[in-house]
Amino acid sequence: MNETRIFTLDELSALTDTPKRTVRYYIQRGLLERPMGEKRGAHYLQRHLEQLLEIRKWQAAGLSLERIAELLAGDAGVEPPPPKRKPGDVEVWSHILLADGVELRINPVLAGLSPAQIRKLTEYVMDAVANLEDVK
């Protein structure tokens, strides 16, 4: 990890669009590591920027600060849940026609599927629909 870049509190705050007061609060809560140095000589490194961006990502997903603290203290491989859906949100859905009157609707982001996985799922469902026609 590149630790050579040094940030002031103002720079860190501007880069993450987080008020300085909030950065200090996260440090106080133990969500963000303390800066290097003290008082006016305090500075932040790349890892502080990454930690703050991680906290912001989890918050955008709707997690409380308590839950974020648990996740940061635990397994680093845990992914946040998708952001909560609310009225007015714009979503992209794939509509796949399988047969007359049969359609597959997929929100790839919510489903967590790659394009290759969606193609494979479509193939399976199309085979199942074709097999249903044989049952008539």
Q: What residues does each domain of the chain span? A: 9-73, 94-135
Q: What is the pLDDT of residues 45-65, one digit of tens each?
A: 999 999 999 899 888 888 888
Q: Residue 14 has what pLDDT?
A: 92
The residue assigned the tokens 């996740």 is: 71
Would you write out the chain's pLDDT as a tens digit for each of its 136 residues? Answer: 445 788 999 999 999 999 999 999 999 988 999 998 877 778 899 999 999 998 998 888 888 888 888 888 775 555 656 667 778 877 888 888 888 888 999 988 778 788 888 889 999 999 998 888 777 6
Q: Which of 42, 30, 34, 76 is nearest to 57 (CA)?
A: 76
Q: Which CATH class is domain 9-73?
A: mainly alpha
> Rounded to an integer, what distance in angstroms lies between the CA atom of residue 38 and that of residue 35?
7
The whole-angstrom distance between residue 11's C-alpha and the CA centroid of its chain comes to 23
